[in-house]
Amino acid sequence: MKLLICFGTRPEAIKMAPICLELKKRNIPYKLCVTAQHREMLDQVLNFFQLFPDYDLDLMKPNQGLNGLSASILNEIDKVFDEENFDLVLVHGDTTTSSMVALAAFHRNIKVAHIEAGLRTYNKLSPFPEELNRQITGRIADYHFAPTHKARQNLLNEDVDAAKVVVTGNTVIDALFITLDKIKTGFTNTTIENLKQQFNFNKKVLLVTGHRRESFGQGFKSICTAILEISRNKEIEIIYPVHLNPNVQKVVYEMLSGIDNIHLIAPLDYPSFVWLMSKSSLIISDSGGIQEEAPSLHIPVLVTRNTTERDEGIQSGCSFLVGTDTSKIVEKTTELLNPNVDLLHNTNPYGNGDASTQIINFIESLE
């Protein structure tokens, strides 16, 4: 069976890397195509996991619109399909890359496997445009790898054939464990060494990230106001690797620059970010991947979104939905930085690190 793996952004690369590594380990041939919807943020992941794309569509443009990006992906991936005949294309999650590559594959009568299938809020504006992206990919896909039983049930409720849905856990946990193992066995880099020098890890570290389109404007302003308020406590060291989307950069740098315990830094390479997460007491984020990773590190996450498709983390007390409401963020931060809060015993509902093994077992069984 001729396999093509295709992704375009940082989180997709992190979550698809374990699948690429598992294929390599079993000597199963595959081709890798990156749309490069992201550029620097993608390349650092390729570099860390030593992945070498066979096709690089190089599509990132500054502040690119969704329609322009979608049109470019459809056009450029079609040329890859002209080059080689594939039997199965593996796409991931809910980005414009995944939905457009799935659509292009469908147009060329190529089967599609969807990794991280079945996540839903059923609110097409939250997250925007990801909820519709994953629903589109879900309609097209021939095989669905659901991270949790809830995700599987969502697909069954949509009349997807149960035989085509496999619950595997999330491959991000595989990526996290691979990375933690490397760090434990001595991996370091200049970024990690610089972080150690630059910041005071005797204080409580509050790690912040954010990039959701539905929060652009007022949402981001309210989150920044909360961070300003939290920074009045000088026992807290706030570290914020700022996403490269210009709509995020502008408001965050305008509102949070120049405060002694707020450190705005460039996005971190994956191992440095994992290292920093492991040193943090609390994370404030709208990231899907971070909601999944943090429970394995026993770090609570305040989710700055109004909805989440990752309800399992909320139910198990690992994450907390606070929206972009300034006072909720401040109050919950104060509560969770209390030394009596103990998340050490919560287990990670998103998997135990063998998702890519299960996915490749299933794909091998199709031969």
Give the residue numbers annotated as catalytic, written as ranges: 94, 116, 130, 211, 213, 243
Query: Which CB, 215 or 358, lies closer to ligand UD1?
Result: 215
Residue 296 touches ligand UDP, criterion: CB under 6 A:
no
Residue 279 touches ligand UD1, criterion: CB under 6 A:
no
Q: Please report, to the nearest 10 degrees, the dihedral formed by the alpha carbons of residues 246, 247, 251, 254 taken in order.
A: 20
Residue 130 touches ligand UD1, criterion: CB under 6 A:
yes
Residue 211 touches ligand UDP, criterion: CB under 6 A:
yes
Q: How far apart are CA 77 and CA 34, in angstroms?
A: 10
Q: How far apart are CA 320 and CA 330, in angstroms?
A: 13
Q: How far apart are CA 53 and CA 46, in angstroms?
A: 8
Residue 297 touches ligand UD1, criterion: CB under 6 A:
no
Fill in the per-residue mask, 70 to 89: x = in contact with ligand UD1 (CB under 6 A), - = not in contact: --------------------
64 binds, among ligand UDP, ligand UD1, none (CB under 5 to 8 A by kind): ligand UD1
Q: Which residues pair with 145 in a beta bridge?
A: 115, 166
Fill in the per-residue mask, 141 to 180: x = in contact with ligand UDP (CB under 6 A), - = not in contact: -------------------------------x--------
Q: How far is the CB of 96 from ligand UDP (least distance, A)?
A: 12
The count of C-alpha atoms lying within 13 angstroms of the C-alpha of 109, restricted to the half-sphere facing its C-beta, is: 2
Residue 10 touches ligand UD1, criterion: CB under 6 A:
yes
Helix axes 96-107, 130-140, angle to 10 degrees: 30
Query: Number of residues in contact with ligand UDP, rule: CB under 6 A?
Result: 16
Cβ atoms of residues 151 and 132 within 8 Å: no
Residue 270 touches ligand UDP, criterion: CB under 6 A:
yes
Cβ atoms of residues 129 and 318 within 8 Å: no
Residues 6 or more apart from 356 whose CB is under 8 A from it? 18, 19, 21, 22, 171, 174
Residue 306 touches ligand UDP, criterion: CB under 6 A:
no
Q: How far is the CB of 119 from ligand UD1 (least distance, A)?
A: 12
Cβ atoms of residues 53 and 47 within 8 Å: no
Which spans of this chain sit near ligand UD1 (rule: CB under 6 A)?
A: 9-11, 37-41, 60-64, 66, 69, 94-96, 129-130, 211, 244-246
